[in-house]
Chains A and B, each alone.
Chain A
Amino acid sequence: MGRSYLLWMGFLATVMAVGYSVHMLDFPAGLSRDVSWGLHIAQFTFFVGVAASALMVVLPYYIHNMKEFGRITLLGEFLAVTAVTVCLLFIVVDLGMPHRIWNVVFYPTPNSPLFWDVVVLNGYILINLVLGWKMLEAEHQGAPPPFWTKWVMYASLPWAVSIHAVTAFIYAGLPGRDLWLTALLAPKFLASAFAAGPALLILLCAILKRTARFDVGAAAIDKLSVVVMYATITVTIMQVSEFFTSFYAGIPAHMHSLQYLFFGLDGHHALTPLMWIYVVLLITALAILIRPKLRNDEQTRLIGCAAVFFAMMIEKGLALTVAGFIPNPFGRVTEYVPTWSELVVMLGVWATGAFLISLFYRLVISVKEG
């Protein structure tokens, strides 16, 4: 057990402790009667996408038999487990009555997308945990995995799509929230998931290469970065499409949220700087990922993937959720900016994810290295 690994885990545990003690304090001051969902629910939305992206390493390896993905698939599956855990944590820290969360189980409500989200998220954790575990065990024993893992793997594919579609449906079926009331939301969620998730995986693999000397192989990374490229292009097209529909039609209700984000509304523009950073990051990502020379170069590829990841984080991990509430049902703007306590709790949840994934990856690497 390397000393630097222990130090890393100790650091993470400290951040977790700080995060969770801050959580025990009051309700975040940033939230309001008008903006009732903020950073934590937005982060949950973002990380569901990261979880869904495991599909992008499972599909090539198991369905298309692309053997070069052999060392990365397990990493993707355990990233999915970690991401879903992070999602559930974000929900729990956001609830007004967290100890009552069991009510969702005791009183199942099929007409509520939130109920279904809890179902599919827990199912997805189970699927990926079982799959990852059995595959790892098989490798460790040098024997093929049990036959039924094939069916679990098949199930994981539409399930991955479903977790993010259901999450989008939480937003997309509400008559009073114009920014979200679009058929494009679920497809856009999936596209940005397949951009941000694999981008994160590429970044994690680079870290593993440097810290644990575990190389998943250039072939897998090269192919995965192509996925990131196409997904990023798709997200950009969708973003442009949103802009066109909103601003060309010019219907105030359909415009106001987007206007608030990018240009400010009624003198309120707290999130505008962030949105233009998002635009710059998106353009940077495209500029790098589209050119094979830059996409296949290790250094620039990392910049491109980081740009994608943080761009999607801004848009789906904060802006989209908040701007749906602006303007409020009375046509006025009540702004929301994350408060320090929300940010600290977020860091605590991130640290929990980092802690989990460090545990998982250590396990995977030790099995793969023999």
Chain B
Amino acid sequence: MSLSRKDFLKAAVCTIGLAPLAIMAASSARTAPDPRALQGASWAMAVDTTKCTGCNECAVACHKGHNVPNVGNSKQEVKWIWQENYEGAFPELSHNYVDEGMKKRPFMLLCNHCENPTCVKVCPTQATFRRPDGIVMMDYHRCIGCRYCMTGCPYGARSLNFNEPRDFLKEINPEFPTRVKGVVEKCNFCEERLAIGKKPLCVEACRYQALTFGDLADANSEIRKLLNDHPSQQRKLSFGTKPKVFYIV
């Protein structure tokens, strides 16, 4: 039987085309989790506003460690954790006769890693997704930059890279990826640090122990004790997003 060149090429290309499947099968080996990794089923953060001085060290540490650019234009800024006043943090609770102390108090805002996150619901490519341990993650490679997640988030926790971030980074932390213009980013609860047994950068940077990170599912955790012993509130509870950042007031 004589094989025509056309048939040979067809067969060859099809066979070669199967190679990626073989490669994928071979590389389906999984990586074992790091034994140091912090274990948790429901990660959460408590911000003790009675202790917070508004020094901003948490934000500086976070942005430095995660290569968050300072684009110098507040309209298009990128921020993972930042300071707000009471009126901005709780506009639905703020009235005209709030006490002076509360008016001056700093409130650190960040992604709430909601249990019922709107951003995850609306993302058309699952570039943002919720992990079983409660962290709402971003896949910078899959994000198409549609900003639906930004539109959906009721907390204003997300930022688009309107500019090329590397143009605005004085120094780059090589241990964490930089992003590119056109993708959305936000606080990731330092999942890369949790994986090697370390607490989030903001928690570590705070000199006043105002930030407590822990597992809500662990009844003996520090955060559960804190919430048990002090009155706390959350942002925009009525929306049903079930945020996991608590403010001790």
Q: Taking beta carbons and an 8 Å cutoff, which residues of A are in contact with B? A: 26-27, 31-34, 36-37, 91, 94-98, 100-101, 103-104, 106-107, 109, 111-115, 118, 170, 173-177, 253, 324-325, 328-332, 334
Q: Known A103-B142, A176-B236, A329-B154; judge A33-B124 contact (CB<8 A).
A: no
Contact A114 B124 (CB under 8 A): yes
Q: Taking beta carbons and an 8 Å cutoff, which residues of B are in contact with A? A: 75-78, 84, 87-89, 91-92, 94, 118, 121-127, 142-148, 150-156, 159-163, 181-184, 236, 239-241
Contact B123 A96 (CB under 8 A): no
Q: How far is the CB of A314 from chain B (nearest CB, A)?
A: 21
Interface of B is mostly: loop
Contact A32 B76 (CB under 8 A): yes
Q: How far is the CB of A249 from chain B (nearest CB, A)?
A: 15
Contact B162 A31 (CB under 8 A): yes
Closest to B180 in A: A97
Contact A111 B121 (CB under 8 A): yes
Closest to A253 in B: B92
Q: Which 10 A-B residue pairs are closest in the complex by CB-CB distance? A: A96-B145, A176-B154, A96-B182, A331-B91, A329-B156, A330-B88, A175-B239, A32-B75, A114-B124, A36-B147
Contact A174 B76 (CB under 8 A): no
The listed residue (A34, A174, A330) touching B91 by CB distance below 8 A is: A330
Contacts of B150 in A (CB 8 A): 33, 36
The listed residue (A101, A104, A112, A177) touching B121 by CB distance below 8 A is: A112
Contacts of A107 in B (CB 8 A): 125-126, 142
Q: How far is the CA of A34 from the CA of B151 in the complex (A)?
A: 9
Q: Known A109-B126, A174-B151; judge A96-B146 contact (CB<8 A).
A: yes
Q: How far is the CB of B126 from chain A (nearest CB, A)?
A: 5
Contacts of A27 in B (CB 8 A): 162-163, 181-182
9 contacts between A and B (CB under 8 A): A95-B146, A96-B182, A107-B126, A109-B124, A114-B148, A329-B153, A330-B88, A330-B89, A332-B88
Contacts of B144 in A (CB 8 A): 95-98, 100-101, 103-104
Q: How far is the CA of A96 from the CA of B164 in the complex (A)?
A: 11
Closest to B239 in A: A175
Q: How far is the CB of A31 from chain B (nearest CB, A)?
A: 7
